Chain A
Amino acid sequence: TQTVSQSDAHVTVFEGDSVELRCNYSYGGSIYLSWYIQHHGHGLQFLLKYYSGNPVVQGVNGFEAEFSKSDSSFHLRKASVHWSDSAVYFCAVSAGTGGYKVVFGSGTRLLVSP
C-alpha cells in the first residue's frame, strides 16, 4: 500500500521568495508521483508528474519537482513565487504497476504575501 505525507500544513512566504513544499512517500515498488494545485473554491489541477528518467521534472508556471529514491521524497519548488501561487498543493502517489488508485496527501496551504 502506498502512502504519502506532506509535513507542512501551512507555508507563508513573500512574493519573489523561493519556496519548497515537501512530500514524502512510502511504497516498495515502482511509483508514479504527481503534484496538483487547488485554488480556493475550485477543483484540483495537475501541475507535473514523475515516473522515470530525469529526477527533476518541470511543470507549469515555473514549478519543478525533484524525485529522490533514497529520501523517498518528491518535493515541489519554485524559484520566485507570485501572489497568484497562493493555493493548496497536493502531492499524489500511485503504484507503478498500474491499476486505478491514486493516493493524495493532506495538502500544503501556500500563502504568498505581497
Chain B
Amino acid sequence: EAAVTQSPRSKVAVTGGKVTLSCHQTNNHDYMYWYRQDTGHGLRLIHYSYVADSTEKGDIPDGYKASRPSQENFSLILELASLSQTAVYFCASSDWGAYAEQFFGPGTRLTVL
C-alpha cells in the first residue's frame, strides 16, 4: 500500500541549532511537499519538488531549505532553528501536482526551545 513516512515523529531542538526532518514515500509519486501546521490553523506550503535533485519555494520558505536526493526522499532543513518554527510539519506526495489527491505522512511535531 502507498505510504508516506516521516522521521522523527517528534523533536525538541534548541534555538540556533540545526534540524533535519525526513520524508520517505513509496507511492512512486513525482511531487512531494512540505507543509507546516500551526495550532488551529490550516496548512501552509514551505517547499515542494516535482523531480529529484530539484526543489521549489512555496509560500513560506524563509528559514527553511529542502533537499530531494531521490524520488522517494524529501528532507526539510532548518539551519538555524527559531522559536517561531515550533509547529507540526507534514510531508505529502502526489502523482501529478495540483490535480491529484495528496497523500500525507503522520507529521513531525517540532518544538524549538
Contacts and interface: CB of A to CB of B under 8 A. Distances in A.
Interface of A: 9, 32, 34, 36, 41-46, 49, 51, 90, 94-95, 98-102, 104-107
Contacts of A101: 45, 58, 98
A71 B28 CA distance: 37
A46 B101 contact: yes
A100 B105 contact: no
A43 B99 contact: no
Nearest to B43: A104
A43 B106 contact: yes
Interface of B: 4, 31, 33, 35, 40-43, 45, 48, 50, 56, 58, 90, 92, 97-99, 101-107
B102 A44 contact: yes
B12 to A, nearest CB: 17
A88 to B, nearest CB: 9
Given A43-B4, A100-B50, A90 B104 contact: no
B98 A99 contact: yes
Nearest to B48: A100
Given A44-B104, A98-B97, A99-B98, 4 more contacts: A43-B92, A44-B102, A100-B97, A100-B98
A113 to B, nearest CB: 21
Contact of A107 (B42, B103, B107): B42
Nearest to A48: B101
A44 B106 CA distance: 8
